[in-house]
Amino acid sequence: MEEIKPQLIKITFDGIEVEVEPGTTIMQAARKIAEADESQAALVPPAMCFYKPLSASGGKCRACLVRVAQGSAKDPRPMPKLVPSCITQVQEGMVVENTTNQNVLDTRKSIVEFLLINHPLDCPICDQAGECHLQDFAFEHGSAKTRYEEERRTFDKIDIGPHVQLHMTRCILCYRCVYTADQITNKRVHGVMNRGDASEISTYIEKAIDNDFSGNVIDVCPVGALTDKTFRFKNRVWFTKPEDAHRDCDKCSGKVTLWYRGDEVIRVTARKNTWGEVNDFICNTCRFDKKKTSDWVLEGPSKVKRSSVISANKYRADLVKKPDFALKLASTQFKPIDDSRPYTTDEETIRHQSIENNDKANHRSLLAKNN
């Protein structure tokens, strides 16, 4: 019998028409546009809590708010408020504005500010730096200044087992780890306790998360609130080399990314897709106990976005136009610092100064090595 395909729904997202199946969310429709044409990736709303592999995720962080300028073909009225694109389903004839609407962009800036109210700015010592979604979110949508003067909330350290470190002060309460523990482990012992600004991720009666898949909470955490104790403070992620590898595992798919420092495997993680979501959740044996190259069949360098700091200086360095990008940004985003030092916003002058400074720094490091 011929399979009956559902009738597709046509929507317009930032001026681009796309057809999707009924039940698709606005976020998924935007991702479909980007998957068909990589150059449109910037149109996709950011997601700090939505995580496709986890059912019921989304609707917590408001990073993905968009404007629905026309609800549907039948009812063309705009929606009165901005809506979270990750949990709002499309309607035939819907018109959505994201990057084309200044109000959406301004609101997103406020959401960054809101998330940073309590998140510490400890990126220089945080293991998640370089692969932190909040860092990317703040860089792409935030403001360079903070207006926040109050004390940030802090928490007592809680021990949640031998493998995972919880830093509650960095948590943005996205609930991803809670859904992970709920959906892929058979023994959830952690969740969100209390409400409002007293909310915190905790293990009931401080039980360790000791089931076979608990390590996946590390991979889903968008910030450095849940980190791998076997990797903590070992290296910065941009100095490591990710390689895809697999092994025969009787608990999980055994498909992982090995993170190398020289010849040493210093971390094992699940592989992630373009949107930073885990493809296959992996077991704790693969993640924490298999740290030798001989444990694995290597497949080759992992695909890392060229824009990512992780790919810098490693793969296809000839294609990474780092200095141009950085210098352009410096000249356009330079915010005068409140001091008496002279500064320039001229791109060429910044370029020369940067080359001179690099030379001086290289000279200094050579001297240190030779002495």
47 binds ligand FES (CB under 6 A): yes
Partner in contact with 220, chosen from ligand FES, ligand SF4, none, beta carbon below 5 to 8 Å by kind: ligand SF4
Give the torsion sign (CA, 231, 235, 238, 242).
negative
Q: What is the DSSP string of 124-157?
A: GG-TTTTS-HHHHHHHHH--S-----SPPP----
Determine the interface stretch with ligand FES among 44-52, 225-233, 293-301, 354-362 (rule: CB under 6 A): 44-52
64 binds ligand FES (CB under 6 A): yes
Closest CA to 145 of 107, 120, 113: 113
Partner in contact with 29, chosen from ligand SF4, ligand FES, none, beta carbon below 5 to 8 Å by kind: none
Size of the site for ligand SF4 (CB under 6 A): 14
Q: Binding ligand FES by CB under 6 A: which of 50, 137, 213, 231?
A: 50
Q: Give least dist CB 51 to ligand FES, A.
A: 8
65 binds ligand SF4 (CB under 6 A): no
Nearer to ligand FES, 63 or 304 (CB): 63
268 in the Ramachandran plot: left (φ > 0), alpha (ψ -120 to 50) or beta?
A: beta
Partner in contact with 304, chosen from ligand FES, ligand SF4, none, beta carbon below 5 to 8 Å by kind: none
Nearer to ligand SF4, 260 or 275 (CB): 275
Helices (H) and strands (E) in the chain, counts: 8, 14
Q: Binding ligand FES by CB under 6 A: which of 62, 67, 167, 271?
A: 62
- Given a contact cutoff of 8 angstroms between Cβ atoms, the answer to whether 109 and 141 are in contact is yes
Q: How far, in Å, are 52, 139, 166, 167, 359 from residue 288 at the CA level?
A: 25, 32, 17, 19, 41
286 binds ligand SF4 (CB under 6 A): no
Q: Give least dist CB 39 to ligand SF4, A.
A: 31
111 binds ligand SF4 (CB under 6 A): no
Annotate each residue in 258-297 with x if it binds ligand FES (CB under 6 A) or - if it does not, as one string: ----------------------------------------
- What SS3 class is residue 96? strand
Q: Give least dist CB 51 to ligand SF4, A.
A: 9
- Who contacts 17 (Cβ-Cβ below 8 Å, separation ≥6)? 10, 11
Determine the interface stretch with ligand SF4 among 5-13, 146-154, 220-228, 293-301 (rule: CB under 6 A): 220-228
Question: In terms of C-beta density within 10 A (0-12 exposed, 13-18 middle, 19 or more buried), how is residue 260 classed?
Answer: middle
Instruction: Report 166-185 residues binding ligand SF4 (CB under 6 A).
Output: 171-177
- Output the six-digit token pair for 213: 């898949």
Q: Give least dist CB 236 to ligand FES, A.
A: 27
HSE (CB half, 13 Å, CA atoms) of 136? Answer: 20
Buried/exposed 310-324: b ≥16 CB within 10 Å, e otherwise: bbbeebeeeebeeee
CA 331 from chain center: how many Å?
26
Q: Binding ligand SF4 by CB under 6 A: which of 30, 86, 95, 201?
A: 201
Nearer to ligand SF4, 96 or 172 (CB): 172
Contacts to ligand SF4 by CB under 6 A:
171-177, 201, 220-223, 225-226
